[in-house]
Amino acid sequence: MNTPAGPTTAIPWQRGVAWLLFLGPFFFLSYGFANSMAARWQVSDALVYEWEQHIPFLPWTILPYWSIDLFYGLSFLLCRTALQVDRHALRLLTAQLVSVACFLAFPLRFSFARPDADGLFGALFDALAGFDLPYNQAPSLHISLLIIIWVRFATATRGPLRWLVDAWAALIAVSVLTTYQHHFIDLPSGALVGLLCLWLWPDEGPTPFSAARWTQSPERRRLAGTYLCGALTAAGLGVLLGGGGLVFVWLGIALALVALNYALLGPAGFQKHAGRHALGAALLLAPYTLGAWLNSRLWTRNSPAPGLIADGVWLGRLPDSGAMRADGFRALLDLTAELPAPKGNWAYMQLPWLDLVPPDSARLEKAAAAIERLRQHGPVLVCCALGYSRSASAVAAWLLATGRASSVDAALAILQQTRPRVVLGPQHRQALARVSPPAELTGGA
């Protein structure tokens, strides 16, 4: 007896073609307009490092340089849903709009004389020169589009084919220098635009701004202001130092995004799903994430081990995979929004909460219910960055909701027996006092 095949999802290629019919002309019109305006203004400014004069001119790299046009069109065939098609197209459109706006606001010119090339390579350079004048430099739209297209191909390929995709993408990235189309500064600025587009338009789920609203929380406003000041300081330092000091601009961008999350977007701005941040968010936030991880290790260096609170529920800092296995945990409740979680063979749940912001009673009740569900798998670790605040308030809520503690003071006393540095402020206490057992916990322990 033949078993009927399961339903397959048709590639929404018609939708992709429709987008291409719009994006293609729009690219040439907007890119050409910025080029012609720079020529009319007789732009001569350039941002170039002295060492760039040693970059060789490699005529054959015009092949990978041109190949991005082919991959641009093919990338739409790798989208499996209409939403993916739309988000991919919106990434490409946003990169175009942002880049052209920068070309018009801060026009720059490529300052090296390109050597002559002959044969096929020379013909390709001549064709390129027909519409691409030596302007439209920073950010490199070639790099922005490459990042967006590479992600589309990388998520659809595996094994040796994925290695080939990665290698060819790297070759395209290098080719913007070796074809004498861009100066170095255009590459990181182009990468920034590409990553912002990935962050703005995730493949699935809501966009970061879909549920955005300005916070009324004094704590969040204060922290947003603090991070914004740090962002301006870091970015200013990077611009002042120049050269390798531009890494501080990256830090400034990361801190600015964190400030935006505290002021407007909430935990959703970190784009953490199944314990990992989306690629755009992960790379944009990398300097902040590294700093947050180092801070968590410094604060807990004298007490890295988690503590048993009651009945298989442990409290501690976010562990690594080795610590999870060594301590025999079978479940993990992760309350961090800013740090990636370890991967392993254990039950995992995440409730991303902003650091240093007291949770309300609804979040605490949800955490208490999550802890009780995870207990079914065995010993469960409830964690945040340090294991002193977010996770402590969640475990306190579980103690209260399940009747293991009769009051907030009693719950705090239980916590401090094994985690003496746990301190819950007045707002934590007020929220805990309003915790009532969720329906699934009314049966007690």
The β-bridge partners of 307 are 315
Of 79, 197, 383, 384, which is the active-site residue? 384
Annotated catalytic residue 229: no
Does a cis peptide bond (omega within 30 degrees of 0) precede residue 64? no
The β-bridge partners of 380 are 313, 331
Single-letter amino acid code for the residue at 361: S
d(CA 387, CA 333): 12
CB 57 within 8 A of CB 115: yes
Catalytic (active-site) positions: 384
